[in-house]
Amino acid sequence: MLAWRRRADVLSTMFFFVIVVSLFPLSISPEPQLLRSIAPGVVWVAALLASMLSLGRLFANDYADGTLEQMLLTPQPLYLIVLGKILAQWLVSGVPLILVAPILGVQFGLSRESLLVLMLSLLLGTPVLSLIGSIGAALTLGLRGSGVLIALLVLPLYIPVLIFGALAVDASIGGLPTQSHLSLLGAILVLSLVFAPWATSAALRISIE
Amino acid sequence: MFSDLNFSVKPGQWIQVTGPNGCGKTSLLRMICGLLEPVAGTIRWRGEDIRALGEEYHANLTYLGHHNGIKDELTSIENLRCSSGLSGVDVSRDAAVQILRDMGLEGREHLPARLLSQGQRRRLALATVRVAGSVLWVLDEVLTSLDQAAVALTRSLITEHVEHDGIAIVATHQDLDLSAGNLQRIELSL
């Protein structure tokens, strides 16, 4: 809640994303054909890593200052509170990525349609990253070195999102239909929207004991 | 930690839990709140297991633990209104200012909480307990880092709460010496 008060977090996530993505054209080769073929993978992997950056802080601060206990003890359903926290986290970590993605796509010589598909796939995919990540954040609460542990727990679960997100952009570059990939991403989103807050709530109750 | 513990409390009563460090006062209070599950036994609210009641029970309960539950980035007013909002009570801006004044935080309403001293944060936390308006108060080491005026204030808050048919369960080393209400003492030992 009010993650906006810590603007540094938002900017660091976004700059990390921008820099990682920009490193590839600089380091590999400026050849447009090659860049276009690696673009979907690069942008998606960078988005994945960038969204991991702020995950550790999702519940850690609340845990440290006792507000998490208070949230568990409110008459509101914990499911909704957790969903609210995840939504706020997505707004400050996911949405900026979606907004800067087209600018980065231009670096890779993507066409207008491909840029649109890239944004659409990120729009469907980044909430899933936040949702799944929240489970990892809740499970590793209060542990030492939780950052690495979150990555180990959560990254394997991110793989389907990565595959379909990158495939959708890939397909649009090749002029193929993208609808099936995007529909699958949407399906993953709906599924995680239902189950992730529930799993996170259960994990929080265990962590707080 | 402890066993064979059995007690009940009615509106208008308060309980003081005492005992040496590490005897399980905090654990007992956290169990009463439902944050910690007892190894054996049940805790009942109006005859029903609190595990089954869930949020319905939480609506009657306010807990103040070792941590104050205050967000450093928010001002005192925002903290107060946020936490009362979470407990389902809407506190207007003016009402929040009035309550903060009562708690001796006049002039600090618009400061971010991270600039407050330990004692002032505790006062703010007490203000949040007060606005929640629940029947059952569970207060853990409530007098820590409070000055004498604030201790007196806390006493009068608890007295007033118990007199209005509230219940208070307080873990503390110091004697609270409340005149009002019906006191039970639970003494835990190592």
Please report whether residue B47 resides in a domain.
yes
What pLDDT score does A21 carry?
86
Say if residue B179's pLDDT is above 80: no
Report how many domains make up chain B: 1
Please report whether residue B160 resides in a domain.
yes
Q: Mind listing the pLDDT tens digit for each residue in A5-40?
A: 556 667 788 888 888 888 888 888 778 788 888 888
Paired sense of beta strands B44-45 and B48-49, if any: antiparallel
Taking the CA of residue B68 and the nearest CA in chain A, the distance in Å comes to: 6
Taking the CA of residue A81 and the nearest CA in chain B, the distance in Å comes to: 9
What contacts B131, CB < 8 A, 6 or more positions away? B80, B83, B84, B87, B89, B91, B96, B99
Q: How far is it, in rounded angstroms, from Cα A185 to Cα A203?
A: 25
Closest to A140 in 3D by CA, of A148, A150, A132 = A150
Here the CATH number for the domain that contains residue B183 is: 3.40.50.300
Which stretches within chain B are classed as H helix? 25-33, 50-53, 55-58, 76-86, 93-102, 118-132, 148-163
Q: Which residues of B touch A70 (CB under 8 A)?
A: 63, 69, 83, 86
Taking the CA of residue B83 and the nearest CA in chain A, the distance in Å comes to: 8
Q: Comparing B79 with B182, which gets the higher pLDDT?
A: B79
Q: Which of B69, B70, B87 sits opposite A75 (nearest CB)?
A: B87
- B114-to-A38, A176, B104, B119 alpha-carbon distances in Å: 46, 55, 17, 12
Taking the CA of residue A6 and the nearest CA in chain B, the distance in Å comes to: 8
Say if residue B65's pLDDT is above 70: yes
Contact A155, A30 (CB under 8 A): no
Q: How far is it, in rounded angstroms, from Cα B171 to Cα B27?
A: 11
Paired sense of beta strands B136-140 and B48-49, if any: unpaired
Q: Which residues of A touch B62 (CB under 8 A)?
A: 73
Tell me which of B30, B51, B83, B86 to substitute to probe the interface with A (most A C-beta atoms closer than 10 Å). B86
- Asked if the Cβ–Cβ distance from A70 to B66 is below 8 Å, we say no
Q: Mind listing the pLDDT tens digit for each residue in B44-63?
A: 888 888 888 878 888 888 88
Q: What ipTM did this prediction achieve?
A: 0.79
What pLDDT score does A134 carry?
92
Q: Which residues of A touch B55 (CB under 8 A)?
A: 74-77
- Asked if the Cβ–Cβ distance from A70 to B70 is below 8 Å, we say no
Taking the CA of residue B58 and the nearest CA in chain A, the distance in Å comes to: 5
Please report whether residue B133 resides in a domain.
yes
Q: Comparing A119 with A12, which gets the higher pLDDT?
A: A119
- Asked if the Cβ–Cβ distance from B63 to A209 is below 8 Å, we say no
Say if residue A114's pLDDT is above 70: yes
What pLDDT score does B80 carry?
84
Please report whether residue B19 resides in a domain.
yes
Q: Which of A6, A65, A75 sits opposite B67 (nearest CB)?
A: A65
What average pLDDT does range A165-183 have in this prediction?
87
Please report whether residue B167 resides in a domain.
yes
Q: How far is it, in rounded angstroms, from Cα A196 to Cα A201?
A: 9
Q: Mind listing the pLDDT tens digit for each residue in B94-115?
A: 888 888 888 888 888 788 888 8
- Asked if the Cβ–Cβ distance from A75 to B71 is below 8 Å, we say no
Q: Mind listing the pLDDT tens digit for each residue in A122-137?
A: 999 999 999 999 999 9
Q: Average pLDDT over chain A, rounded to whole?
A: 85
Q: How confident is the model at residue A191 (pLDDT cuts 50, 70, 90)?
A: very high
Q: How confident is the model at residue A161 (pLDDT cuts 50, 70, 90)?
A: very high
What contacts A102, CB < 8 A, 6 or more positions away? A115, A118, A119
- Residue A170 gets the label, from left (phi > 0), alpha (psi -120 to 50) or beta, of alpha
Tell me which of B1, B36, B60, B73 to substitute to probe the interface with A (most A C-beta atoms closer than 10 Å). B73
Other CB atoms within 10 Å distance of the CB of residue A4: 12
Q: Which residues of A touch B35 (CB under 8 A)?
A: 69, 72-73, 208-209
- Asked if the Cβ–Cβ distance from B71 to A65 is below 8 Å, we say yes
- Asked if the Cβ–Cβ distance from B74 to A5 is below 8 Å, we say yes
What pLDDT score does A125 carry?
92
**Can you name the residues that pair with B183 across neighbouring β-strands?**
B14
- Asked if the Cβ–Cβ distance from A75 to B63 is below 8 Å, we say no
Q: Which of A6, A70, A81 sits opposite B73 (nearest CB)?
A: A6
Domain residues for B137?
13-187
Please report whether residue B6 resides in a domain.
no
What pLDDT score does A143 carry?
79
- Asked if the Cβ–Cβ distance from B69 to A67 is below 8 Å, we say yes
